[in-house]
Amino acid sequence: MIQIIPAIDLIEGKCVRLTQGDFQRKKVYGDPLEMAKQFEDHGIDRLHLVDLDGTREKRVINHRVLEQIASRTSLVIDAGGGLRTDEDVHVVFESGAHMVTGGSIAVKDRPTFMGWLKQYGPERIILGADFKAGKISVSGWHEKTSLDLMEFIADYSEHGIKKAICTDIEKDGMLEGPSMDTYTRIKQEQQSLFLMASGGISNMKDIELLEEAGIDGVIVGKAIYENKISLKTVESYILKNS
């Protein structure tokens, strides 16, 4: 069964969604703790938490919200956004995250990222591979690189990464369906990688197609918040497949 992982993105302590990572195209959905409790109440056990203030400030900002969710739910949380230093990672783990996702740091400061992998192990360190037109983007998606997506993932897989979240920036928040060809190709080339697809999910059919392609997890954001996928539907899917 594919793992359905809702996303909570944070700005100023509130749950928001952006479109294609654009801070000018922001919609606020309210209290993140209440949202997390709703997820838990519907049988969901995972959460992808992104500190969008952190991505802009290049340091962890919303760790108090993480602490609240971690202490008041039993969700297994991976946290990302703003992780640049060993201290950032320490704070996030101390605040209750089970895993951290490193994207920009994996591009800009490989030794530090590899140090986290060595210190905490591949079950707790996730590679964030955000891409646009096949090339990796960093710094909250505002900075393009010349790094090829497939080569980037293959390189880190060779160096011990076992989990990756891969986001198509052009699809994110658009509700137009995921980049099936890209995710299928990654999974075919990196069969032992726990691959989580992100961006464009619009309905349960999208999730079922990813599952058929062998993708391990799917990050779902706007489709849940806009009720394109109801939490009751997610709950039914989990019960049916458990």
**Residues 76-110, buried b or exposed e (16+ Cβ, 10 A)?**
ebbbbbbbbeeebbebbbebbbebbbbbbbbbeee
Q: Nearest to residue 54, comparing CAs of 96, 6, 105?
A: 105
DSSP secondary structure code for residue 2 in this structure = P
CB of 151 closer than 8 Å to CB of 190: no
CB atoms within 10 A of CB 41: 11
Backbone angles phi, psi at 160, to 5 degrees: 110, -5
Catalytic residues: 9, 130
Return the bridge partners of 128, or none. Answer: 165
CB atoms within 10 A of CB 111: 6
* 134 CB-near residues (< 8 Å, 6+ apart): 148, 149, 150, 182
* 77 CB-near residues (< 8 Å, 6+ apart): 46, 47, 48, 49, 66, 69, 70, 96, 97, 98, 99
Backbone angles phi, psi at 78, to 5 degrees: -105, 135
